[in-house]
Structure 1
Amino acid sequence: MFCDIFIENNYKKIDILYTYIVKEEVKPGMRVLVNFGTSYRVGLVLFVYKDYKGEHFDKLKEISDVLDDEPIISEDLINLGLWMKDRYLIGYSKAFAPILPPGNLQKIKKEIKIEKYPSGKDLEDLNSIDLGKFYEDMDTFEKNIVKKIRRKGYISYVYTPLVTVKPKLVNFLKLKDNFDIRNLEKLSDKQRETFDLINDAKEISRIEVMSKLGISYSPIKSLIEKKLIVEFKKEVNREVDHEEVVENKITLNEEQLNAVNSILETDKVVSLLHGLTGSGKTEVYLNIASKVIEDGGDVIVLVPEIGLTPQMIDRFKSRFSDKVAVIHSKLSAGERYDEYRKILNGDVKITIGVRSAVFVPFKNLKMIIVDESHDSSYDFHDNLKYDTIEVAIKRIKDKGKIILGSATPSVESYYYAENGFYNLTKLKNRAKKGAYLPETSIADMRDELILGNVSIFSNELKERISEKLSKNQQIILFLNRRGFSNFISCRSCGEVIKCDDCDISMTYHKINNRLICHYCGKTKVIPKVCPSCGSKFIKEFGVGTQKVEEEVNKLFPQARVVRMDRDTTSKKDSFRNFYDIIKNHEADVIIGTQMISKGFDFENVTLVGIIAADLSLYISDYKAKENTFQLITQVSGRAGRASKKGEVVIQTYNPDSDIINYSAKGDYEDFYKYEIEERKVFEYPPFYKLVELEFSSYDENLTYKWAERFLKQMSEDINNINLKVTNFIKMPKIKKINRTKFSVKVRPRDLKLLIEGLNRVIINCKIREDKNIDLDIEF
């Protein structure tokens, strides 16, 4: 037998599969120990087969050892990784990086858990037996005995991915078995009280005993010395913080019931749940998840922002208790370790997390729920080149269903729903009685300037803020730009202060009085004179969230103000703390970027002010209008979510813009009709697929040379489909790396042929062999 294995690495040239000879049973997903070059490495088996058709048979090595006797990665996740490699034209390392267990692939501990005596009686209170090196050193005969015992159900395996942390062990106390009752004589009052508490509890942590009784360790130590109790280590989970909420199960309204039935009964894999803000989409998720779990299935719930997880966690944990795991980047290494183990070992039925949670190792996955499915965080990012929704659909296909929930669905997903590719269900009304969409007004900032108002707030917004504060109601002020001002510029020559490593203007942050590059993080002091012309007239231009905060404090000194942006939410518990502060009405004015535009449900927020609605409207992106509509509509939806009347003030320099007006009315249908026609005329998705190819290098000339060489090779290797290619574009330099890109448009039906063709081009032009150039492809 032969097997092809994947060895985790960061080098493009060796990011391939390696073939080894196998003389014992091995399956895809198992780890094997192999002689790799001059050392031994652990590899993951991806393929096993009988006939070897490659060259150099005489040079093939045998596998040194099979480390597992069952796969640590399931077949469906292996297939998903292989599909991602081919679909996104990436290497094995990038394709499998989000799928592999946390920590080092080579370090996964296996334990034997004893399930029952041969007589059939269940065993309790038996620790697992750590196989570790012991199992790996067994000979084949001994391993076969273990396998037979396991097949008969007497033992099971528990897999623990090893990371830099270990299970959290806490000192526990319990009564000593068969202790001498005579030792109970002559106990002091504190010793007697301690003994009684431990006796009642059966098992209790040492710290809890000391806390409850207000004692030192001395009485406990005395009881141990008298051989009445024993102290031992016990593993406990690091529970992810959430608020204990006892949720009253809400009776679904007619719209919600119809949505639940539609999603459960459709024969389509994907259901688009189009529900306006506050329409009760989460309650629909909860009811569907409950039915899936009742039928034995597992559920993944994806949210776009870490900031949304506290609210979603609270809702799901109040309904499903300890059957919920949480996965996101703000977890500590220990918390991530414990959450992954719970999923891997089947201790939970629901996982809530950001996009990487789509890969959690559920064994009976039946439903994936994508909340705020329009959000850009589900798209391609940095080194993890995948479209979360596309991956979710691929993973769930033929075994379950996926829900895309949004008040502002992407134009593409709505097009697929309108044309019957997706199941479409709608929630047109707010779920809470007395809750209606807010009243929206547009403030023309051009008129404000004519009237002499140079403040960042229109007179209307200032009046509304003052009114809401007097009523003890809360206000959200939204600006999708952090920092104090956009950039520092010379008024004499127009020079803009840029980052030394990136071709990007630096943002002024007043809190530490420095310029910061939002791409590489580099900082510098504000120059006293212009580095170009020597002028002293250096000035801040534009406005950021810090400037808004300063202005609110100046105009409304009595208001309690919090600011939510990337600068203030970098710490582990930031989102939970902000969530609690706002929910408990410990803040009157909440200032934030797009992280406050979605998901938050606070009954006392009655006013939303959108400081600069035009910011995202004219950027160079075919999705600019869609993104603007989504942002304005989503943040507007934070107002008036209960019985209190909600209001929204949209500040703009383009009050006649169709997009601004569609947003003000919350009119998705009219926006969609407008946008889909424009996409059709200009040949953008969903009518064409857009593929971007970016060439990056420290050498600027090399990016152009490779772009030209690649395009020339494309004309030779891809001549069976009609391609529309854009001009080369020089992108801003980031971290001293130069970038050149061009885009290709292709009909959706030809996308598969294009991917196959691009793979041929990559091989034939040998771009992966040049260590001085990197190619990134985004679909």
Structure 2
Amino acid sequence: MFSGLMRPVEVLYEVAVDAPLATTLTYSQPVGRTDEERVPAGCCVRVPLGRRQAIGYVLGPAEPQPADAPAFVVKPIAEVLTEAPFFPASLIPFYRWIARYYHHPLGEVLRTALPLAPTSRGSSRQVRAKMRPVLLPGPLLPPVIDPEERLAVDEIVDAAEVAVQVSLKQAERKTLTLFCEALIQGNHRPVPRALLLERYSGAGPRLKRLVELGILAQIAERVLRDPFGEAEEAQPPPVRLTDEQQQVLATLLPAMDAQVFAPFLLFGVTGCGKTEVYLRAVEQALAADKTALVLVPEIALASQLEAHFHARFGSRLALLHSGLSDGERFDQWQQVLSGPACVVLGARSAVFAPLEHLGIVIVDEEHEPAYKQEDGLRYNGRDLAVLRAQMAGCPVLLGSATPSVVSYHHCMQGKYTLLTMTKRVAAQPLPAVEIVDLAAVRRSRPDLAFSDQLIGAMAETLEQGRQSLLFVNRRGFSPYMGCRDCGAILQCRHCHVSLTLHRGQHTLLCHYCGFRQHPATLCPACGSPRISGGGIGSERIEEEVRQLFPEARVARLDSDTTASRRHYAATLRAVRSGRIDILVGTQMIAKGLHFPRITLVGVVWADTGLGMPDYKAAERTFALLSQVTGRAGRGSDPGRVLIQTYQPRHYSITLAQRHDYPAFYEQEIATRRPLHYPPFSRLVNIRFSGRKEERVERAAIQVGRFLHEHPLAGRGEILGPSPAPLVKLKDKVRWQLMVKSGSPAVLHELCEAVLAERSKLCPHDVTMGFDVDPENMM
């Protein structure tokens, strides 16, 4: 027998298992299936994994093993959970690339990409054990096994007969039960069961009997859950495009016709009409029998664009974001998978939408850090959108009034094509921006967060019957609570962060883990009851506005007030119709909103992010100020903006005042170049967390020493290890180690080297994760 001889051919499948495994696994045909009844790629299955069972995703046929390969037993697939594929096979190369680039197990990548596929995560597990007689000293314990104690089956199998039943968590199709007269089913309109029960109390058993007698027929009909609800009223399409819109489309549409990958950056000032460009590009894709993917960084922005896209594309539009119920998202996913929906609009997770034959990919507000997933699979939705376009061979359009420094640098280097729109629709001027130096101005109300200039501007705007928007980048009433005797700050018991006072809820809240504490508390350091709040939050600003202008109609939009999409949409309608005079809010009101009646924007405190230990702090401050500034003066009346700050000469603030992004870019590039920060390098942040501080620290030090001794260490820079800025989060101590290099290949080789030695470098009770291209250094 020679080495190339193959073993007898059997039906084998490559399966990515939802487990922290570095490789895929091979399984054989499920018992009871013929060789012709193949399981298609994209199906979800249950497979044996050691002594337990796990969820897996079929990637296609596995390669037969050569005859000289080590022999191993190939176990059959235990159960096929979805006979129809849950994702198209064409996306498998996309998933594989993600797993390699982000150094994340492929099965867990698929679990992230397919949140509504059958999964054992979050599902119920019942463990029943019949204990064998065992002689023990002292009283006998009852034979109860609590699954919450996470007892491994391997540990108890020798002492008990164990049965494990897993109830899968799975969104399903919604069906409506209808009844009609059995003899005239085709000519009589069926009546829903719920309506019959509502009109005829106690009719349930009688309906069942009438069906048994053949008098009524019972019909199950598929129902699609409507995710759109009360969408915002869309503006009609413009009769004529602006010259700049026409110029942009004259460059973009031919690239779509050519059906080749082409990255574009649309740099357009706020209010220039980027949305209409997006709509025309999608129309072009559909006219060519292609599909379209449109991403926004946050659910709030998806709600803004939803009305425009639904008005144009109707049932061809699908929404995909976490603001929908599981049932709504399941229906929308199936609509995309089966074909009726060919346009997907959603937040970052929509990048995984099962679209085929893409004609255009659009990323709105491409600069937003919200495109980065900050736990689990730490992917960047914008970057994966560019990858999807590249794999599909279609253009990708990144839009922003304040492009990310990296994307703009790509344009300067010729990697992206720059498209510019410098004028607002209808030739509206950009608002006049004033900077108020809080350290220098006299304030007649020092107890409030407002300067006299801002108070006067709000009063004048009210008298004119116009609207104001007040922006503060903190929610709650007071971002921290301190002791007036010893100065100690009240911190979360589980995180190394201050507790925020939410006066309306009468609670102190941790914004990271959700821990709550009653505000009537004693200082944990000295026992003093003299605890008071400090800092500025949106709830406090709302209260102070009501004190100053009791006659004004005031509303607040932040994550505390927008738990439901319905309330959020109702508030926006009230603002648009003029029933709100002053709108207070956080980042969700800083971008994307189009309110023609808003003429005044007040930035209560512009310095919030400048003190963060992050090389992107200035970029984020400039973007946020520019975006919120752009909410003013979008109608017929000119806009005015007041920026309150203690750093009036910081370049991110002065250049935002001048609406001068190119100058900001040059200043920021000059700052980053000598420090070799992106775009002049790439970063990987290796994060360590665990409950025992000394073990977390030791693991970080060992990995750092390993990297310093690696042959490629000289081609990169290793920073740390050190405690993370947020050293404790959800009861876990956190350390981090930054690796920086101008060569992505070097970075990935160093990461692979660490992964290969993981068991030696990092103990099992310390979690180690790779954050490739990190957005958040906290």
TM-score (norm 2): 0.83
Structure-2 residue corresponding to 1:20: 27
Aligned residue type for 1:302: L
Match of 1:352 in 2: 345
| SS of residue paired to 1:766 | helix
Structure 1 gap ranges (5+): 108-161, 180-197
The CA distance in 1 between the partners of 2:232 and 2:189, in whole Å, is 24
Instruction: Name the structure 2 match of 1:85.
Output: 99
Letter of the aligned partner of 2:224 in structure 1? N
Q: CA RMSD in A?
A: 3.2
Whole-angstrom distance in 1 between the partners of 2:119 and 2:647: 54
CA–CA distance in 1 between the matches of 2:41 and 2:199? 55
1:695 paired with 2:688, answer yes
The within-5 A match list for 1:463-478 is: 463-478=456-471
Secondary structure of 2:350's counterpart equals: helix
Unaligned runs of 5+ in 2: 1-8, 30-34, 122-167, 773-778
User: Match for 1:168: what amino acid?
Assistant: K
Q: 1:91 Cα deviation (Å)? A: 1.5
Does the Cα contact within 8 Å between 1:242 and 1:313 map onto a contact in 2? Answer: no
Q: Which residue of 2 aligns with 1:530?
A: 523
How far apart, CA to CA, are the structure 2 residues paired with 1:31 and 1:638?
A: 46
2:174 counterpart residue number: 168
List per-residue Cα deviations over 1:420-444 (Å, max 9, x = no partner): 100110111011x252211111112
The answer for the alignment partner of 1:44 in structure 2 is 57
Residue 310 (structure 1) aligned with residue 324 (structure 2): no
8 Å contact 1:718–1:754 — kept in the other structure? no
Instruction: Please point out which of 392, 397, 406 is paired with 2:400.
Output: 406
Q: 1:587 to 1:173 in 2, by over 3 A?
A: farther
CA contact (8 A) 1:268 1:423 kept: no
Aligned-partner Cα distance in 2 for 1:258–1:516: 50
Deviation at 1:601, TM superposition (A): 0.7
1:452 positional shift:
6.7
Mapping for residues 118-133 of structure 1, pairs under 5 Å: none
Contact 1:3 1:45 in 2 (8 A): no
Counterparts in 2 of 1:263 and 1:468: CA distance versus 1, 3 Å: same
Whether 1:563 and 2:577 are equivalent positions in the alignment is: no
Contact 1:7 1:41 (8 Å CA) reproduced: no
Relative to the length of structure 1, the TM-score reads 0.83
Q: Deviations over 1:595-614 (max 9, x none)?
A: 11110111111111000011
Give the alignment of 1:108-147 within 5 angstroms: none
Question: Per-residue deviation at 1:15?
Answer: 6.2
After superposition, the Cα gap between the structure-2 partners of 1:439 and 1:519, relative to the gap in structure 1 and judged at 3 Å, is same
State the secondary structure of the residue aligned to 1:97.
Answer: helix
- Give matches, 1:530-609, under 5 Å: 530-609=523-602
Secondary structure of the structure 1 residue equivalent to 2:75: coil
Shift of 1:377: 0.6
Trace 1:315-714 onto structure 2 (pairs within 5 A). 315-399=308-392, 400-431=394-425, 433-449=426-442, 453-526=446-519, 528-714=521-707
Q: Deviations over 1:55-110 (max 9, x none)?
A: 54143335567788875432332111111111011122332122236131599xxx
Report the equivalent of 2:225. 238
Across the two proteins, how many residue pairs are aligned to each other?
A: 697
**Partner of residue 261, structure 1:** 250
Matched, 1:6 2:15: yes
Which stretch of the first structure deviates more once superposed, 375-384 or 293-302? 375-384
Letter of the 2:420 counterpart? K
Q: Give the counterpart of 1:778 among 763, 768, 771.
A: 771
2:258 is the alignment partner of 1:249: no
Moved more, 525-534 or 607-616: 525-534
**CA offsets, 1:737-779, max 9 Å, x none?**
00111212100xx112321231122212426873211112112
Distance 1:708 1:672, change over 3 A: same
CA contact (8 A) 1:310 1:575 kept: no
Q: 1:5 to 1:252 in 2, by over 3 A?
A: same
- How much has 1:726 moved relative to structure 2? 1.6
Q: Distance in 2 between matches of 1:27 and 1:572?
A: 38
8 Å CA contact 1:436, 1:640 repeated in 2: yes
Query: In the alignment, is the contact (CA less than 8 A) between 1:703 and 1:773 conserved in 2?
Result: yes
Rounded to whole Å, the distance in 1 between the matches of 2:231 and 2:79 is 47
Q: How far apart, in 1, do the equivalents of 2:68 and 2:702 lie? A: 31
Amino acid at match of 1:327: L
Identity of aligned residues (%): 32
Question: In structure 1, what is the equivalent of residue 32 of structure 2?
Answer: none
Q: What does the per-residue CA deviation read over 1:5-41, in whole Å, with 9 as the maximum and x for residues that have no partner?
A: 435445x3x5642223566556543455655445666
- Cα 1:702–1:429 shift into 2, 3 Å: same
Question: What is the rounded CA distance, in whole Å, between the counterparts of 2:662 and 2:585 in structure 1?
Answer: 28
SS of the aligned residue for 2:307 comes to: helix
Counterparts in 2 of 1:3 and 1:574: CA distance versus 1, 3 Å: farther
Quote how far apart the aligned CAs of 1:296 are. 0.8
Q: CA deviation at 1:528?
A: 4.7
Q: Distance in 2 between matches of 1:541 and 1:39?
A: 52
Q: Supply the AA of the counterpart residue of 1:258.
A: Q
Give the 3 Å change call, closer, same or farther, for CA 451–61 of structure 1 in structure 2: closer
Q: Residues 571 and 101 from structure 1, CA distance in 2 versus in 1: closer, same or farther, beyond 3 angstroms?
A: closer
Which of the numbers 270, 289, 292 marks the counterpart of 2:285? Answer: 292
On the 8 A contact 2:234/2:308 being kept in 1, the answer is no
1:335 to 1:768, Cα distance in 2 relative to 1, 3 A: farther
User: Residue type matched to 1:734 in 2?
Assistant: L
Alignment-derived partner of residue 103 in structure 1: 117
**What amino acid maps onto 2:662 in structure 1?**
E
The aligned counterpart of 1:60 is 74
SS in structure 2 at match of 1:257: helix
Q: Which AA in structure 2 matches 1:604? A: R
Instruction: Check conservation: 2:499, 2:509, Cα contact below 8 A.
Output: yes
8 Å CA contact 1:167–1:338 kept in 2: the answer is: yes
Q: How does 1:756-767 map to 2 (within 5 A)?
A: 756-766=749-759
Contact 1:342 1:348 in 2 (8 A): yes
Find the aligned partners of 2:275 and 2:193 in 1 and give their Cα distance: 38
Q: Which moved more, 1:600-609 or 1:65-74?
A: 65-74
Report the equivalent of 2:87: 73
Deviation, structure 1 residue 235: 2.1
Indicate the larger mover: 263-272 or 541-550: 263-272
